[in-house]
Amino acid sequence: MLVPRSVTNRKVVAKIAGLPTLAMAKTLLSQQKAQACPSKLDAPPPDIHYSEPSGTTTSLIRPDINLGGDSSQTHMGQQDEVQRLVDSTEPQCVVCGRYGDFKGGMECHNVCSLECQRLALESVQTSSGSTDTSSVPQFASTAAPAPQNSVAPTRRPHPYSSTRLVANITGYRESPRTAALSTQEATKLREAHRIYIHGKHIPKPILSFEDCSFPVRMLSNLVENGYAQPKGVQMQAIPAGLLGRDMVISAETGAGKTAGFLIPTIVHAYGLSQLPGDTMEGPYVLILTPTRELATQIEDVAKSFAKSMPNMRTALLAGGQAMTNQVHRLKQNIQVAVATPGRLVDILARHGEISFSNVFCLVLDEVDLMLSLGFRKQVMRILDVLPVPPNGRQTIVCSATISRQIDQIIGKVLQNPLRIRVGNPEEKKASAHRSGTKVSDVFSPSSQIKQTILWVENDSKKKQLFSLLKDPAYFRPPILVFVESRIGAELLSRAIQAKCPWIKAVAIHGEKSQEERSAVLKTITDGTVPVAVATGLLARGLDLKVATVINFDMAPSIPDYIHRVGRANPDAASKAAASIRKGPRLDGMAWAITFINNDHHSILGEFANMLHRLESKQVTPLPPQLKQLVVMDPPKQRTAADIPGPSDVQGNHGAKASTFQSSKRKSDSCQGQEKPGSSAKAGKKRRRN
C-alpha cells in the first residue's frame, strides 16, 4: 500500500539530518584537522578535489573556514559557509540565502555572518549613498568566476536563485557575456526567439552552453548529440533550471522542451552525486511522462547527456517490461529515473523498501496528455506520497498546451514558478476575444510545418491517400499516417501494401507488445520503413524524424491536431525533398496533410480560424467549406508566390477533394477528381454544368 506523506516525511527528515551538507562537511574537516594538529587550529583544512574523466581536476568545495572568529560575535560566524540552508519558515540571510537570524546592523533584514553583514552594508551604502537599510539591498557578485568544471560554489550566486539544495549545489553564475546583457538587450533577445516569460526575478537568457560552467564531459556530450548552441526555450529554461526555480514550460513542438529540462536536472543530479560523505540514496531526479515510448526516448537522451560522467546512472520505469528488472535497477543507487504514472504507482505500492525520499527535482512532462489519458488520479497520488526533502524540491511542468485543469495542478505543486512560453498565444487569444469565437488555450502549429487541408469524404479517403503515395512529386518518406482506431491502423497498412506493393508499410498501436512497438519505432527513425500507420500513440513528444504527416482521420481536438502535425521534422523533409525535381516547394519546411469533412463539424469553426491566423507561407489555400467558417478579421493578402501553381494542391468545390495527380496520369482519372493543373476557368465551366 502507499505510505502516507506524513509518515514518510518523518523518516526522510530523520535520514537527511544524518547526512552531511556542504557546511557540515566543511566543519567536520575542520574539526578533524584540529584533532590531528591541536596547535594549528587556525590553519585551513585542505581543499576537496574531484577529477573529471578527462583528467581535469576541479575544486568542488573550498573549506577555508576561520574557526577563531570574533570574541564579541561568538554565535556569528566570519563567513556564511558555516551556516546551513533554510526551511521556508526560518530566517534567511539576504546575501547568501542561508540560515541567518542576526540583524548585524541591518534594521529590517537578517544576515548570517560578519562577511555577509559587511557586504550588505557596503551594498546599501553604494546603491543609496547613505546607511539607510530599510530597503532590500541588491548584491553584486564579488567572488571570482567559477571554473568551468565547478559543481558547487560556496556562495549563493544570485538574489533570484532558489534556496533549495539543488541551486546551491549547481552554483550557476552568469558568465561575463550573460551578465553584460542589459535588461533591454535581454528582452530583445527573447523577442527575437519568440520567448515569453512571466514571473518574479527573471534570469537572463544564455547564448551558449559555455556560459553555464557545465562539466567538461557534459559539454562534449552535448556537442556529440548535436547540441552546439541552445535554441528556443533552452535559452531561458536552462539558467532558470540551474537556479533551482520552479517552471512551467509550454512551447510548440520542436522548441527543445526535453533538453530544456533535462540539462539542468542532470547537472543537479551530478552535483548531488559528487557530495562528500555517505552517498544519499537516489533517485535525485524523477521524470513523469505519459507513454512508454516517450519515457524510453527521454531516458535515451538523458543517457547520452550523462555519458561517461562518474556516478551517473538512469532507470526506466515503464509498463511492457518486467517490473523485477526495473526494481533491481532502482536499488543500484541511480540518479535519474524516468517513469510512467501507472508503473510508478505499482512500484510505490508493492516495493516499500525503495526510497524516493531524495527526489530534489521532479519533472511532469506532457501533463495535458497524462490528464487526457486518465492519469490524473495516479499523478495526484504520486505527488501526495512523494516526500518533500527538507530543503525543498524543484518542480518543472512541461507541455505544448496548458489548460485550466493543468493550472490547478500548477497552483498546488509549484512555488512562485516562472512561466516560459515559446510562440505568441496572447495574440491568438486577443483575436479570438475580438471575434467571439472559441479558441483553445493552445499554441498554433509549428511555424516550420506547411499545412495542406483537403475536404475528403470518407469513401474517397483511401483513393486520395493512394494517389499521394503513388505520385513521386508528393511521396516524401518517411511518412506517418494517423488514424483514429487500432483496427483502422492494421487495415490501412495492409491496404497500402496491397495497392502500392513497392511501398513497405507497418502499423503501430497500443495493442502491440512493447518489443513490437520499439522495433517499429526504430524502423521509422532509421528510415527503413517509408510509411507507418499509427493511432494517437505516437502523437505526443516523440522525435520521429518523419518528413510528412498525413491525418487520414482528423484528430478529435485542436490540441491533438497540433501535436500530430508536430511530429513532422523540417530536417527530414529537406532531406526527402532533395531528390524531388517537381512538386510543391516547401522552402525547408516539413509537410502535414489533413483529410477533413463534416464528420468533424464540432471543431471545424475553431480549426478554420486557427488556420486563418497563420502566415500564408504556413498553409495552402483552405477549401471553401472551411473558408466560409472564418469569422475573424479579413484574410491576409497573399503574394504571387503564395498563390498555388499547377503543382500545388487544389480543392474541389463539391463534396470530394481533388486528387494529387501524377504528371504521367492522363484523362482516365476518376470522376469528381481534379488534376493539379486544372485552371479556374475549367472550374467555372464545371459549376455551370
Output the pLDDT for position 433: 44
Mean pLDDT value across the chain: 73
Which residue's entry shows cell 494529387? Answer: 660
DSSP state of 113: B
In a domain, 667, yes or no: no
Mean pLDDT on 199-211 = 92
Sign of the torsion angle spanned by Cα atoms 269, 250, 203, 215: positive
At 28 the pLDDT is 54
Please state the rounded mean pLDDT for residues 190-211: 91
Query: For residue 150, what pLDDT is reported?
Result: 36
Same domain for 402 and 478, yes or no, is no
Q: What residue numbers bound the domain in which 268 lies?
A: 165-431
List C-alpha distances in Å: 73 to 79, 80, 106, 247, 292.
Answer: 12, 14, 15, 40, 58
For 505, phi then psi, to 5°, come to -130, 145
Q: In terms of Cα–Cα distance, which of 257, 266, 253 is closest to 237? A: 257
pLDDT at 277: 66
Residue 209 reports pLDDT greater than 60: yes
The pLDDT score that the predictor gives to residue 120 is 64
Give mean pLDDT, residues 232-246. 92
Do 291 and 199 fall within a single domain? yes
Domain for residue 134, yes or no?
Answer: no
DSSP state letter for 620: P
Looking at the fold, whether 418 and 450 belong to one and the same domain comes out as no
pLDDT band at 161 (very low <50, low <70, confident <90, very high): low
Report the amino acid identity of residue 472.
Answer: P
Average pLDDT over residues 187-194: 90
Distance CA 242, CA 268 (A): 7
Q: What kind and span of H or E run contains 682?
A: helix 680-688
Looking at the DSSP bridge assignments, the partners of residue 317 are 339
Mean pLDDT of 659-667: 39
For residue 158, the model assigns a pLDDT of: 52
pLDDT > 70 in the chain, percent: 64
Can you tell me the mean pLDDT for 599-624?
Answer: 89
* H and E: helices and strands count for the chain: 24, 16
Instruction: Write out pLDDT tens, residues 556-572.
Output: 888 889 888 888 888 88
Three-state DSSP state, 419: strand
Query: Domain check: are 174 and 101 in the same one?
Result: no
For residue 10 the three cell numbers come to: 518523518
Q: Is residue 594 classed as helix, strand or coil in its secondary structure?
A: strand
Q: Is 581 a member of any domain?
A: yes
Distance between first and last Cα of the chain: 73
Mean pLDDT along residues 21-45: 49
Q: How far apart are CA 391 and CA 384, in angstroms?
A: 17
Cβ atoms of residues 25 and 33 within 8 Å: no
372 within domain boundaries: yes
* Residue type at position 563: H
Kindly state the cell numbers that stand for 75. 554565535
Confidence band, pLDDT 50/70/90 cuts, at residue 141:
very low
Residue from 149, 48, 156, 26 nearest 100 by CA: 156
Q: Which of 70, 102, 128 lies at the terminal end of a domain, its last residue? A: 128
Q: How far is it, in rounded angstroms, from Cα 481 to Cα 492?
A: 9
| pLDDT for the residue numbered 685 | 41
Contact between 292 and 318 under an 8 Å Cβ cutoff? The reply is: yes
Higher pLDDT among residues 558 and 18, named by residue: 558
Answer positive or negative: Cα dihedral of 30, 33, 39, 42. Answer: negative
State what percent of residues in the chain have pLDDT above 90: 30
Q: Give the per-residue pLDDT at 483.
A: 94
pLDDT digits over 328-370, tens only?
A: 999 988 999 999 999 999 999 999 888 898 999 999 998 888 8
Does the residue 502 lie in any domain? yes
Counting the structural domains of the chain, the total is 3
Of 79, 107, 128, the last residue of a domain is 128
- The x, y and z cell numbers of residue 194, run together, are 519568440
Q: Is the domain of 42 the same as that of 181?
A: no
- Same domain (yes/no): 504, 397: no
**Can you give the pLDDT at residue 115?**
65
The segment with the largest mean pLDDT, out of 118-122, 131-135, 155-159, 579-583, is: 579-583
476 lies in the same domain as 624: yes
Quick one: pLDDT band at residue 586, thresholds 50, 70, 90? confident
For residue 97, what is the domain's CATH number?
A: 3.30.60.220
pLDDT tens digits along 633-653: 544 444 444 444 433 443 443
Per the domain annotation, does 333 fall within a domain?
A: yes
| Same domain for 250 and 214 | yes
Tens digit of each residue's pLDDT (9 = 90 or more) over 391-403: 789 999 987 677 7
Angle between helices 514-526 and 292-305 (to 10 degrees): 60
The candidate with the shortest Cα–Cα distance to 365, out of 417, 257, 250, 288, is 288
- Supply the Cα-derived Rg of the chain in whole angstroms: 29
Return phi, psi of residue 197, to 5°: -130, 140
Burial 104-131 (b: 16+ CB within 10 A, else e): bebeebbbbbbbbbebbbebbeeeeeee
**Residue 571 forms part of a structural domain:** yes
- Same-domain status, 396 and 483: no
Q: Minimal CA–CA distance to 107: which of 117, 97, 96?
A: 117
Residue 364 and residue 256 in one domain: yes
Query: pLDDT tier at 186 (50, 70, 90 boundaries)?
Result: very high
- Are 168 and 152 a contacting pair, CB within 8 Å? yes
Average pLDDT over residues 307-321: 91
Residue 145 — very low, low, confident or very high, per pLDDT cuts 50/70/90? very low
Above 60 in pLDDT, residue 170? yes
Question: Is 575 a residue whose pLDDT tops 60?
Answer: yes
Assess whether 530 and 398 both reside in one domain: no
CATH of the domain at 567: 3.40.50.300
Question: Within this chain, do residues 111 and 206 fall inside the same structural domain, yes or no?
Answer: no
607 membership: H or E segment, kind and range? helix 601-612
Cβ atoms of 600 and 616 closer than 8 Å = no
Whether 551 maps to a domain, the answer reads yes
Of 74, 104, 128, the position where a domain reaches its end is 128
Adjacent-strand bridge partners of 418: 247
Contact (Cβ atoms closer than 8 angstroms) between residue 65 and residue 44: yes
Which of the pair, 377 or 123, is modelled with greater confidence? 377
